[in-house]
Amino acid sequence: MIHNILKGSHPLHIHANGPSKHFNPWLTIFDNRDLFTIANDCPALSVITYNSNPDSIFENHCRKSGIKVCRPAIINKKYRVSDKSRGLLNFAKTCPTKYILFSDASDAILVGNTQEIVNRFLSLNCRLLFSAEKNHWPDLCPTADFEKQISLAPYCYLNAGGMIGETKYLQEFLWEDIDDQGFWKQEYKKRYPEIKIDSECLIFQTLFGVEPAELEIS
């Protein structure tokens, strides 16, 4: 179990965004990943990632727990970050389930059951929920002031490495060929409160800028 001491929450998806993948608390979480037993107990949820490697950290851990992970597209040597969301939106067009959970693959892990993830999402009264982080990126994206006004620090900025949403809602989006996270930040500004971020870390926990003492791992 992961305990965010600042927020008093127990997040269910951990993402070592940016350089945090090289330091604690991620290294401790990764070393103890087999202790986090999870269950695929929500048939209404599809779990997807975007990665060419079926042995990525995220996909491998899900597979061991009986969670099928869909990969809507394959990364090649010409991969662009924007391909992630393009693949997600293409997947949503024919997705048979009511909800979709998307995660980065190489630096993320699920530590909670899929039904509990959906339950927490539904409690937040939105149609699309993104992970939140302490750092505003891309720094040229003109949404920082809006994001700081909407959500309390320190987790006040949208992070696109983890999200959950209604499949039908995702079908409404038309992709613009711009920076992946920048695209979603602008949609967040236009569509709030239908789109929210998980600033209380109820589901998603990012690790960039997080000190080891801020989390308890058990």
14 to 25, 67, 201: CA distances (angstroms): 10, 16, 10
Number of domain units in the chain: 1
Q: Give the count of alpha carbons within 13 A of 90, CB side only.
A: 14
Express each pLDDT in 87-111 by its tens digit. Answer: 899 899 999 999 999 999 999 999 9
Residue 86: is its pLDDT beyond 90? Answer: no
Residue 14: is its pLDDT beyond 70? Answer: yes
Say if CB 129 and CB 199 are below 8 A apart.
no
* Domain span including residue 61: 2-217
Rounded CA gap, 67 and 54, in Å?
A: 13
CATH of the domain at 127: 3.90.550
Look at residues 105, 91, 110 and name the one whose alpha carbon lies nearest to residue 165.
Answer: 91
Residue 83: is its pLDDT beyond 90? Answer: no
Express each pLDDT in 105-159 by its tens digit. Answer: 999 999 999 999 999 999 999 999 999 999 999 988 999 999 999 998 999 999 9
Q: Average the pLDDT over 47-54 and give the result.
A: 80
Entry pTM: 0.95
Residue carrying the six token digits 């127990």: 10
Q: What single DSSP character describes residue 85?
A: H
**Residue 85 binned pLDDT confidence (cut-offs 50, 70, 90):** confident
Pairing of strands 108-110, 13-15: antiparallel
- Share above pLDDT 90 across residues of the chain, in percent, rounded to a whole number: 81
Say if CB 112 and CB 65 are below 8 A apart.
no
Rounded CA gap, 41 and 160, in Å?
A: 24
Give me the pLDDT at residue 140, please.
87
